[in-house]
Amino acid sequence: MNLLDVSTPAALIDENRMLRNIARMQQRAHALGVRLRPHIKTSKCLEVARRQQAAGAAGITVSTLKEAEQFFAGGYPDILYAVSIAPSKLARALALRRQGCALSIVVDSMAAAQAVVDCGRAEAHAFDVMIEIDCDGHRSGVSPEHAELIEIGGLLHRNGARLRGVMTHAGSSYDLDNPQALERLAEQERSRCVRAAERLRAAGLPCAEVSVGSTPTALSAANLRGVTELRAGVYVFFDLVMANVGVCALSEVALSILTTVIGHQAEKGWVIVDAGWMAASRDRGTQRQNIDYGYGAVCDLDCNPIEDFILSGANQEHGIMSRRDGRAPDAIGSAIGCATACATGQAGIVERFPIGTRLRVLPNHACATGAQFPEYQVLTAGDSAPALQTWSRFYGW
């Protein structure tokens, strides 16, 4: 089986690229003196996680209890569920723990902590709990200087829960695009989470773990003094948002969409492909960045970017491929150098990308694009011609 035989659209992993990405982050964690607990929400795939584990990862991070259940069944007992726990989900968390899963849950409010305490008391069970810290105002978490931090820690510790430590995520790193700013935010992430841990300890409360991470800050931190573990997720594949942030090159993006040309609107300079937003997702994360890639960057079958062509538009099952700069069809015709292109260039774009042509599209957001597919087609690692395998991925919450 080869790429010309695969039904499109398909989610395609380049395993050689992925393995280099895994090794890079693992080496980074080692150099910083911390454990790496990868976030598997990007791939939701056991085969991918096994390669991260083989490289040295310690435990995993999940964003849904479905992920926790599936990965525990797949042989991963050490799991951090890194979303503040909803009271209605405590029964599922408890069921996992009673099966032997070392599941840690997260809270960032007195109300959530009280729900954990109440459930633990009713079920005679001691949950392992982390407190989420807000290090950048991006999303959720308690301020490291707020009195509520000590109140939450005290409520948990005095009422039977095991307070494991603090965790944070500098999600605003996705809005940056230069090394100096990324390094400053990485230090802010580190220092504020460490400060929260110090305050808890000064109040006589346990805080063994200090967990930080996002892919950009993990790759930008000057040091991680006081931190015990690093979490990152999208690094395993990378994507166009990460390329714009500046932490990877297009040649390091390991996930792409395999697609087929199915038509043309030559007078508009459009090539129509069978990958619409149901394949690429509606994520337009590059829209507010320096380079807007539309719904994805178009590449040839060997994943070489094609002269600034992007997926500029998307309907449910139709993708519109055109030049990012919006140049007229006649300019396209002359630029591609088709000998038979007419003066308007209409023949050029049709001849260059005839119906049936296979292309690859790099995604804006690997997590969102992966979520559109039940499985990956994988170009396996090796020096000879790679084999093509199919790896399943998980769905649901």
- The CATH number linked to 190 is 3.20.20.10
Does residue 262 form part of some domain? Answer: yes
**Whole-prediction pTM value?**
0.94
Same domain, yes or no: 230 and 273 = no
Same domain, yes or no: 197 and 261 = no
Write down which residue in 187, 203, 235 finishes a domain: 235
Same domain, yes or no: 208 and 260 = no
Same domain, yes or no: 63 and 186 = yes
Same domain, yes or no: 87 and 214 = yes
Does residue 94 form part of some domain? Answer: yes
Question: Residue 259 forms beta bridges with which residues?
Answer: 359
Same domain, yes or no: 376 and 269 = yes
State pLDDT tens for residues 183-219: 999 999 999 999 999 999 999 999 999 999 999 999 9
Does residue 245 form part of some domain? Answer: no
Same domain, yes or no: 210 and 286 = no
Does residue 19 form part of some domain? Answer: no
Same domain, yes or no: 180 and 211 = yes
- Output 2 or 362, whichever has higher pLDDT: 362
pLDDT over 70 for what percent of the chain?
94
CATH number of 293's domain: 2.40.37.20
What torsion, rounded to 10 degrees, do the Cα atoms 218, 25, 85, 194 define? -40
Does residue 144 form part of some domain? Answer: yes
**113-141 average pLDDT score:** 97
Domain count, the chain: 2
Same domain, yes or no: 44 and 174 = yes
Q: Please give the residue range of the domain that contains residue 386.
A: 254-392
Residues 154 and 205 sit within 8 Å (Cβ to Cβ) = yes
Same domain, yes or no: 101 and 214 = yes
Which single residue is written with the structure tokens 């996002």? 214
CA distance 368 to 357: 25
Residues 97 and 161 sit within 8 Å (Cβ to Cβ) = no
Which residues, 6+ apart, have CB-to-CB distance to 288 below 8 Å? none
- pLDDT-based confidence at residue 298 (cuts at 50, 70, 90): very high
- pLDDT-based confidence at residue 326 (cuts at 50, 70, 90): confident
Same domain, yes or no: 81 and 218 = yes
Same domain, yes or no: 56 and 123 = yes
